[in-house]
Structure 1
Amino acid sequence: MKFSSLPIVPVAVAALVAASGVNAQEAAPAGGLTIELNEVAPSQKGCKLTFVAGNEFAQSLSKVSFEFVIFDQKGLVERMAVLDFRDLPAGKTKVRQFDLPGTNCAAVKSLLINDAPACVGDGVQPAACMSGIKTGSKSTVELKG
């Protein structure tokens, strides 16, 4: 008796395609976030940080916040602060400014994005805002992600 393997091939291919679809839905969205520290300047309250934030995800984010660690000139933690970047539309770039009351800009050596307590958007996993984040700085203060 002869068995043909041809009918099995389409079934195997269909199974692989179906499995691929499940994996694609579970994967993180393509793209990521870019956060640039554009300027650090004294303000009436203390120190004003200006960021340029880009959303390279296909999905808009309705709420994004980052926990920043501020290091002094000796490399010691000066403070930690959660900054609310609000919404970031898909494919768009936004400028966000924050005042750090009581902080002397000259004493700030670097910033670290420690976590993203809020990363909310349709089809966006909460961890997506931190995975693959790209950081940079145009000021003398270093920004790390």
Structure 2
Amino acid sequence: MAGLVAALLANPLAAQDMAPGVPAAAPGLVLELNEIARADPDSCRLTVVAVNHLPQALSRAAWQIAIFDDKGAVTALPVLDFGALMAGKTKVALFDIPGTDCSRIGRIVVNDVAECRAEDGSDRRDDCLGGLATRNRSGIEFGL
């Protein structure tokens, strides 16, 4: 036991990796459905937070989402376009979904990457979908 404690004290990163509930590595990108609210009589407003944990900035980050109604039918496939995302930055954006009643939304799924480019022009689609994690603070299901 003393050897394990000494090893963890000598290598604090190993202690962090072994802590319950602490992920070994942070995701590259995070999308959080923060809030869903009626925008006007004929649209629903999504407040979505994007966090770029990648080591490089993105010149454009946009995801297509699928909106399912409360019966499981897909009702819309809008694109959430965040534009540029600086490295290490959190960005909040509002997206109005016309013709959508918030109370009828059953779940929202990140369907695909519409575009994901680094500042040097390279395609980063793998980072934008394969390295994507989701969080949810709304009352409906949200994820990949």
Q: Report if aligned partners of 1:42, 1:48 keep a CA contact under 8 Å in 2.
A: yes
What is the rounded CA distance, in whole Å, between the counterparts of 2:131 and 2:79 in structure 1? Answer: 20
Matched, 1:70 2:62: no
Off by >6 Å, runs of 4+ in structure 1: none
Identity between Structure 1 and Structure 2 (%): 42
Kindly provide the CA deviation profile for residues 87-142 of structure 1, in whole angstroms up to 9, marking residues without a partner as x: 11000101011000110000011111111121010356332200121101101111
Correspondence for 1:33: 29
2:7 is matched with which residue? Answer: none
Question: 1:68–1:80: 8 Å Cα contact kept in structure 2?
Answer: yes
For structure 1, which segment, 79-88 or 51-60, has the greater mean C-alpha deviation from structure 2 after superposition?
79-88
Q: Normalised by the size of structure 2, how large is the TM-score?
A: 0.75
Look up the match of 1:130.
129
Indicate the RMSD between aligned Cα atoms, in angstroms.
1.5
Query: What amino acid is aligned across from residue 38 of structure 1 in structure 2?
Result: N
**Counterpart amino acid of residue 104 in structure 1:** D
C-alpha deviation, 1:82, in angstroms: 1.4
Aligned to 1:91: 88
Q: Which runs of 5+ in 2 are unaligned?
A: 1-25
Query: SS of the counterpart of 2:59?
Result: strand
- Post-superposition offset of 1:53: 0.7
Q: For 1:1-145, what aligned pairs fall within 5 Å after superposition?
A: 31-44=27-40, 45-121=42-118, 122=120, 125-145=124-144
| Bigger-Rg structure (1/2) | 1
Aligned length: 116
